[in-house]
């Protein structure tokens, strides 16, 4: 199962197999992309949903001058996802295993609602 969570020209792609292992990657319409890592579908979906719903937890630091909260760290590629509330919108920050910022995606409340609907469709149950 593949789910593409689109925000402008960028998409967060989740590719889940029959064992509920989900690979995450960032892509653009041109097809270029970045592998982020993988995690159990239940873990990944529930953490993403929580962030999208505004439950981003305590501030753990700053990125680009914004207070950020940890969302998840993925296995394999060891990318980490952070979130920041910016006047009601959500900014997602992606860091690679070395701590280098590799991507930033801004999500309006409308896009957040669309992503949550898509995540609801894949659910957090076993396939």
Q: Where are the domains of the chain?
A: 2-122
| CATH of the domain spanning 2-122 | 3.30.2450
Long-range contact set of residues 11-16: C-beta below 8 Å, sequence gap at least 24 = 12/105, 14/41, 14/44, 14/122, 16/41, 16/122, 16/127
Q: Over range 93-102, report the average pLDDT.
A: 93
User: How far is the C-alpha of 80 from the C-alpha of 82, rounded, in Å?
Assistant: 7
pLDDT of residue 31 exceeding 80: no
pLDDT band at 56 (very low <50, low <70, confident <90, very high): confident
Contact 93, 68 (CB under 8 A): yes
pTM, entire model:
0.90
């Amino acid at each position: 199962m593949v789910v593409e969570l689109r925000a402008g020209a960028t998409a967060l792609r989740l590719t889940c197999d029959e064992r509920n292992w989900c690979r995450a990657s960032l892509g653009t319409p041109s097809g270029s992309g970045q592998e982020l890592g993988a995690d159990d579908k239940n873990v990944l979906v529930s953490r993403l949903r929580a962030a999208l719903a505004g439950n981003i937890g305590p501030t753990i630091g700053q990125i680009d001058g914004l207070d950020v909260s940890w969302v998840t760290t993925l296995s394999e590629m060891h990318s980490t996802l952070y979130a920041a509330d910016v006047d009601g919108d959500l900014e997602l920050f992606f860091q690679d295993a070395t701590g280098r910022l590799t991507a930033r995606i801004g999500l309006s409340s409308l896009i957040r609602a669309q992503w949550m609907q898509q995540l609801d469709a894949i659910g957090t149950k076993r396939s």
